[in-house]
Structure 1
Amino acid sequence: MEYVEDCYNHVSKATMTADPVANPDDCILVVLYGSYREMALIRPAKDTAWTKIVVDATTMPWDMMCQKNDMYVLQQGGELHYCDISDPCNLKIKLIASKISVPNYFVFSKRYLVKSRRGELLQVLRYLNWPDDGDRLRETMQVRVYKLELKGSRWVDIEDLGDDNALFLGDNSSICVAASNFVGCQPNCIYFTHDYDTVGIGGVGPVDIGVYHLKDRSLTLGYNMDSETIAKMRARPPIWVVPTLNFH
């Protein structure tokens, strides 16, 4: 019997470099896929096969971001790699920032790559824990934000997002917005969902959702949802939806 991998979770993240309808010749689709989070790309208007991307064979890609033909890949240890993907036959990958170590008292963590509204690259570390109460419900304990300093090729710990910024973290995408553009959104805060690719949601719905306040390092729920509503969301990977509105 041939083994077939669970296709429901086969692609954990996908991103495109251009609108496939408006600019089909410039569109490149990049995906993170499989149990080992491998990477591949394809140009839908030009290619008939996928091109595999090997960033670093010693560790797994954890998050990625594309800006036109510039691809940034955040590795499991926090290293950041860059690659120009305009020519899939000539991919040259280079390390541009070293790793960030996780404190020993945090066993589990998740990393995100986010672009600030000023174009800076941010690495966000989310530290996780399972309370020893028999329920095994995951909870976020702390969130730290690091800004990439290109001159020194290093990550700098920051405690203020500045410029009215708020971050939204999740498996499908992680984004930075102006908090004042959205009713109820708080500046210098990090909104997060229960990531599906790290730990399954289970039968009780998404439990690890909330808001981390960067200034005083506190956590709140931040969502007006009762337990019945959350229970109906079980097994649904959470996503963020950004309205395409013009703010003045």
Structure 2
Amino acid sequence: MLDDLLTHIARLTRSPRHHIRMTAVCRSWRASLVDQKINFPAVCLMLLEGGNCDNYNFYSISEEIFDKLDLLELRGRRYWGSPFGWLVSHGLNCEILLFNPFSRASFPLPKNHSLIEKLILSINPEEPNSNCVVFAIYWGFLDRRYIAFAKPGDIAWRTLSYNGDDDDDGFKFLIDDAIYFKGNFYGCLNSGEIVLFEDLHGAHPKAVEFASRPPRFHGGCTCYLFALGENLCMTYRDPYDDDDDYEYKGYTIFKLDMDTKSWKRIYSLGDRSLFLGNCCTFTVAAADYPGCKPNCIYSTEESIHVEGVYIYDVEKNRDKDIGLEPFPISQRVEQILPSLSSPVWIIPYPL
């Protein structure tokens, strides 16, 4: 009877914050609502409170409201957000876990004893017949980045080899990001090249060169891959060349022609909002996600350090270098932000 009543109330709930609070009441309520989702799109900024606690705060861009969850499951773990409502986390015990902070559902992944740089989730693991793949970018021998992949239920990570590497001992070039796009998996190198991941389900998974670097790309910048409609795009931070005052002024964006493998610089994201940093790089249609600004980049990059959360308006910066602006959040969030760490973007209930 109680389960039916809670389910009925949840169906009437049109706000992520109300649903979050209901699941946080107790274990029995959480169990009753584990399969009950709401169709209310929201992009949230997830932040860990300072001090020795397990409180995580979720700031909804749409409602400009702060909600709190006690997530003991994330104690001592690093984590990366996603647009699927799931986190990928890595613990001090080297265990890697797919974890949904709202339903508390989880899927174990093989252990990884390396220093993880980024964990990337390909698709929603809850989709019917999901063939979800998780990519791990990690530091290896001689300060080189490797990439490996695994699926829930696998017993070990599989390292990708690369036919463009002078050393046959593994995937040792600097890779920054990876994405699942139109049925294939791609990665971008720190040098600007795009690689295609092949034979992931076969005996010899590898990465092959797919596209050369964009024109006038000098390397050394952190690159991000994302989908923009039917196009694969890459962006990277564009630094000032000033030894006395080194800072990032914004982002340069390129679109890749998948047939000719040629790049074209673009100056607009159209109606999309781009989210990057400690998360799977993703875009959303701003009109579908209240509070999101079209043609803007939302960033939580740790290497850009002014409280760590920024917005970059692509249109405003087209004719004038305005640069990164502080993320427009409520005064309460601004006050608590300096005591938080590892902010990530996550969509609790994706469309």
Normalising by structure 1, report the TM-score.
Answer: 0.74
Comparing 142-151 with 221-230, greater Cα deviation is found at: 221-230
* Cross-structure match for 2:232: 121
Task: Give every structure 1 segment of 4 or more consecutive aligned residues whose post-TM-superposition deviation is greater than 4 Å.
Answer: 6-9, 17-25, 101-104, 129-133
Change (3 A) 1:18 1:231: closer
Given the alignment, which residue of 174, 177, 180 partners 1:63?
Answer: 177
Q: Which has the higher contact order (CA 8 A, sep 6+)?
A: 2
Residue 225 of structure 1 and its aligned partner are, at CA, apart by: 5.1
* Cross-structure match for 1:212: 313
Aligned residues: 225
1:190-229 to structure 2, matched below 5 A, reads: 190-193=297-300, 195-196=301-302, 199=303, 205-206=307-308, 209-214=310-315, 215-217=318-320, 218-219=322-323, 220-224=325-329, 228-229=335-336
Residue 68 of structure 1 and its aligned partner are, at CA, apart by: 7.9
Q: Helix, strand or coil: the match of 1:229?
A: helix
* Cross-structure match for 2:204: 90
Query: Which has more radius of gyration?
Result: 2
Normalising by structure 2, report the TM-score.
Answer: 0.54
In structure 1, distance between residues paired with 2:115 and 2:335: 29
Contact 1:30–1:40 (CA<8 Å) still a contact in 2? Answer: yes
Amino acid at match of 2:282: I
Comparing 168-177 with 222-231, greater Cα deviation is found at: 222-231
In structure 2, distance between residues paired with 1:140 and 1:182: 28
Amino acid at match of 1:109: C
Q: Helix, strand or coil: the match of 1:109?
A: coil
Amino acid at match of 2:312: V
Given the alignment, which residue of 150, 166, 186 partners 1:72?
Answer: 186
* Cross-structure match for 1:54: 161
More helix by share: 2
1:18-167 to structure 2, matched below 5 A, reads: 19-20=124-125, 26-34=131-139, 36-45=144-153, 47-55=154-162, 56-57=164-165, 59-67=173-181, 70-100=184-214, 109-116=221-228, 118-128=229-239, 139-162=247-270, 164-167=271-274
5+ residue gaps, structure 1:
1-5
Given the alignment, which residue of 115, 133, 143 partners 1:10?
Answer: 115
* Cross-structure match for 2:282: 175
Change (3 A) 1:154 1:10: same
Is 1:189 the counterpart of 2:296? The answer is yes
Contact 1:84–1:91 (CA<8 Å) still a contact in 2? Answer: yes
Change (3 A) 1:222 1:57: same
5+ residue gaps, structure 2:
1-90, 95-113, 167-172
Change (3 A) 1:69 1:38: farther
Percent identity between matched residues is: 23
Residue 25 of structure 1 and its aligned partner are, at CA, apart by: 8.0
Q: Give the root-mean-square deviation of aligned CA atoms.
A: 3.4
Contact 2:181–2:232 (CA<8 Å) still a contact in 1? Answer: no
In structure 2, distance between residues paired with 1:52 and 1:192: 29
